[in-house]
Chain A
Amino acid sequence: MLMSIRGVSKSFNGAEILKNVNMDIDQGDVVVILGPSGSGKTTFLRCLNFLEQADGGTMEFHGEKLQLASASKQAIADIRKKTAFVFQNYNLFANKTALENVTLGLTAGRGISKREAREIGLEALQKVGMLERAEYYPSQLSGGQQQRVGIARAIAVKPDVILFDEPTSALDPELVGEVLQVMKSLAQEEGITMIVVTHEMKFAQDVATHVVFMADGVVVEEGSAEDIFSHPKEARTRQFLQRILPEQFEMAALI
């Protein structure tokens, strides 16, 4: 077990966003979290990286157990160095070139020499097909290109797990494909462990090793992509899928 998360809870101003959420992640897993907006999936992901501090719950990571609510600064820094985060709106450093975005976590964050970081950075940019744009600033890149650099920034630090927070939600429809393609190849060719919050059902069906359906701050149902998409047990899951994938459900009803 790479990561074992137990009993995560979180409230904002008295509103309970997460209620006792558990999750287990193995090496090489691609866990896709689905759910309607406001279900707490993004908050859950952010709690794993301490971008949000959970009110309760534990995380066991590489055999080390820690309390999410009271982790020391050092423990938080350690977790952040072993994980990476890909943001919905990319959050590339606006004053850094694509390559500098990728290498900053290596040089400043991990004390790797500039020359070595540059090599790692260029390799990461190549994996996402952005090598030719290495010297471009984010303002000179399209949304899809920025997100690919965001992914390169995440893989460059060789994290044990990459957390994707709706990586394609801010993109124009025609740019979604290039980003999903990159994620798919990372999962299938590089075997990178990922937790992905997304609304891209096709990606979930094709790539996920494990699908988690969340609603109202709880895990309603989880299982393989096949389980969730073809034989959802819970009414709440069926209702959600029907709204998101009406064609498929009408088809299934006819067959």
Chain B
Amino acid sequence: MELDWEFMEETLPKVWAGAGVTMELTLLSLLLALPIGFYLAVIRLHGCKTLQGIVRSYVSFVRGTPIVLQILLLYSLLPSVLNVLVQAMGWQINIFEAVDPFWYAVVVFTINTVALLAEVFRSALNSIPRGQMEAGLAIGLSSLQVYLRVIIPQAMVVAMPSICNITVNLVKGTSLAFLMTVKDIMAIGKIAASFGYNYLEAYIDVFFVYLVLCTIIQIFYHLVEGRIGAFRGKRA
């Protein structure tokens, strides 16, 4: 068996160009999910019983079902629901053509990431000793001030490795966006391969691109963690 090096060389830049879509999808989902996930974590910790229950079932629904299923489900469901809404409003828009599938992918991955982040933030906030809040109240701060200046900065450092994990998993998870015809790294690789059945070569290219992306992300998080966690002193 021989690899078609020429094909691999030609395809690599094309696949690499897909990294833009992959990263857009990742960053957009992550940025949307961060505030929502944090808010849900606060609800889990301080909200009323009903809201807590809703958040809990949301999290277990997302965690308890395969992401492939969530993608297929929402990709079948969302456009039809939107279409019904648009029809009801009496607008003359063909929703099936007007909305780029990219946006459905953003919705799916945001929903997914929100649930993961809510759990990460909840445990991170929980890990900060009660005494930090008490000390803050005792010197005359409001509980909101203690949260903003003491608890959240510490919790972020605790959460950072898990957020890195979620980001890397999200980058890899977005490869499933090809199911929604989004042209990310994976989709471009598959399409290129299908012309001449160079599947192995295309997959090696795709493999390489993901590896580089995820390594960059991990280095980035490592640096951020070192910087915002400087107060913990030197760690081995």
A residues in contact (CB < 8 Å) with B: 49-51, 77, 80-81, 83-85, 87, 89, 91-97, 104-105, 108-110, 137-140, 153-154, 157
Q: Is the CB of B140 within 8 A of A93?
A: no
B contacts with A: majority SS:
helix
A-B contact sample (15 more), CB < 8 A, given A93-B149, A153-B139: A80-B137, A80-B139, A85-B135, A87-B134, A89-B131, A91-B129, A91-B134, A91-B135, A95-B157, A95-B231, A105-B140, A108-B141, A109-B139, A110-B140, A140-B233
Beyond A51-B134, A91-B135, A137-B233, whether A77 also contacts B140 by CB under 8 A is yes
Residues of B within 8 A of A85 (CB): 134-135, 138
Closest A residue by C-beta to B153: A95
Count B-side interface residues using an 8 Å CB cutoff.
Answer: 22
Beyond A77-B140, A105-B140, A109-B141, whether A92 also contacts B149 by CB under 8 A is no
Q: Is the CB of A94 within 8 A of B137?
A: no
Residues of A within 8 A of B149 (CB): 93, 104, 108
Q: How far is the CA of A151 from the CA of B136 in the complex (A)?
A: 14
Residues of B within 8 A of A140 (CB): 233
Beyond A89-B131, A139-B231, whether A96 also contacts B150 by CB under 8 A is yes
B residues in contact (CB < 8 Å) with A: 129, 131-132, 134-142, 145, 149-150, 153-154, 157, 230-233
Q: How far is the CA of A89 from the CA of B154 in the complex (A)?
A: 18
Q: How far is the CA of A87 from the CA of B134 in the complex (A)?
A: 9
Shortest beta-carbon distance, A169 to chain B, in Å?
Answer: 14
Q: Is the CB of A94 within 8 A of B138?
A: no
Residues of B within 8 A of A77 (CB): 140, 142
Shortest beta-carbon distance, B148 to chain A, in Å?
Answer: 9
Shortest beta-carbon distance, B146 to chain A, in Å?
Answer: 9
Give me 27 A-to-B residue pairs in the complex whose CB atoms sit less than 8 angstroms apart, sorted by A's number: A50-B137, A51-B134, A80-B138, A80-B139, A85-B135, A91-B134, A91-B135, A93-B132, A93-B135, A93-B150, A94-B231, A95-B150, A95-B231, A96-B231, A104-B150, A105-B139, A108-B145, A108-B149, A109-B139, A109-B140, A109-B141, A110-B140, A137-B232, A137-B233, A138-B231, A139-B233, A140-B233
Q: Is the CB of B139 within 8 A of A92?
A: no
Q: Is the CB of A104 within 8 A of B139?
A: yes
Beyond A89-B131, A139-B233, A140-B233, whether A95 also contacts B139 by CB under 8 A is no
Beyond A91-B131, A93-B132, A95-B150, whether A157 also contacts B231 by CB under 8 A is no
Q: How far is the CA of A137 from the CA of B230 in the complex (A)?
A: 9
Closest A residue by C-beta to B140: A109
Q: How far is the CA of A51 from the CA of B227 in the complex (A)?
A: 33
Q: How far is the CA of A122 from the CA of B153 in the complex (A)?
A: 24
Residues of B within 8 A of A110 (CB): 140
Q: How far is the CA of A153 from the CA of B150 in the complex (A)?
A: 15
State which of B132, B141, B142 has its C-beta within 8 Å of the C-beta of A94. B132
